[in-house]
Amino acid sequence: MRAISLLLLFFSFSNIVFADEDTFSHAGKWFFMWGYNRGYYKNSDISMHGTGANGPYDYTLHDTNAHDAQSEFQFQFIFPNATIPQTNARIGYYLDDTHRLNFGVDHMKYVVTQDQTVQKTGTDPSGVPIVNSSANQTITPAYLEYEHTDGLNYISLGYEMLYPFWQNSTFNLSFVHGPDAGIVYPKTNVTMAGQGQLRHDDFNVAGYGAAYKVGIIADIGHNWFLQLDLKEGILNMPWIRIDNNPNDGASQKIQFFESILALGYVF
């Protein structure tokens, strides 16, 4: 958050353009961009409820750690398996040379870290109430596997403000920042040992989110550009599906941070 605040402060002093502003005019044009991300997640509470093989459960794992799952880059990921890595795709429109609208998806991945010990409250999957409010639970594959790996999809509409600060006949550099908001549409994989649940292997609208990004755009010629962004946001997911029983589910709020590198084309 501090890094984003400092960059925004720098933007407020970056309105000087050192060349003809019309050199790289994209006003009234569309663009498409595709790239890759790394995701970082603040610890969060995960609440689970349902009717398991051993009776009803309704419990919360507090301050749970998770990580992303970026695949090693290989050329075949681009086609046909383009969604295997953590990717970002957006299409947008230049309102003028300093304002853009965009729509797209941040395809992140979220995996609860194994072998961590967290506080647990509620009634656990054994059907027994947790009497001790400071009870601890070590998360292992024998207890729980929980991940949004197909993935943690954030579909959003965004608004961007651009600040060109350097140009020549071939390159144009601009700072960019702006908000976006939308829905969270994950495919969640959950295994709770001994519960006998049937895996829910479908996408579903699990909640909504909002984020803010700052970055830099490097126009290369008059059509191509590279964009590097730092993005921070929160995803509120009260309707996570964990198995085929629609009465079972999970909820959590995820605060995330993304670094994104994307290649774009203006047309």
Q: What are the extents of the domains in the chain?
A: 2-266
> What's the mean pLDDT when you consider all of the chain?
86
CATH level 2 (architecture), domain 2-266: Beta Barrel (2.40)
Q: Give me the long-range contacts of 200-206 (CB less than 8 A, separation at least 24).
A: 200/241, 200/242, 200/243, 200/244, 202/241, 203/150, 203/153, 204/239, 204/241, 205/239, 206/237, 206/238, 206/239, 206/240, 206/241
For position 84, what pLDDT does the model report?
A: 63
Please write the tens of the pLDDT for every residue from 75-109. 544 544 555 689 999 999 999 999 999 999 999 99
pLDDT band at residue 6, thresholds of 50, 70 and 90? very low
Tell me what the mean pLDDT of segment 135-158 comes to: 93
Q: How far apart are CA 36 and CA 69, in angstroms?
A: 12
Tell me what the mean pLDDT of segment 121-138 comes to: 77
Tell me what the mean pLDDT of segment 196-202 comes to: 72
Q: How far apart are CA 30 and CA 203, in angstroms?
A: 29
Tell me what the mean pLDDT of segment 246-251 comes to: 92
Query: Is 243's pLDDT higher than 60?
Result: yes
Q: Please state which of the ranges 19-28, 88-97, 153-162 shows the lowest mean pLDDT.
A: 19-28
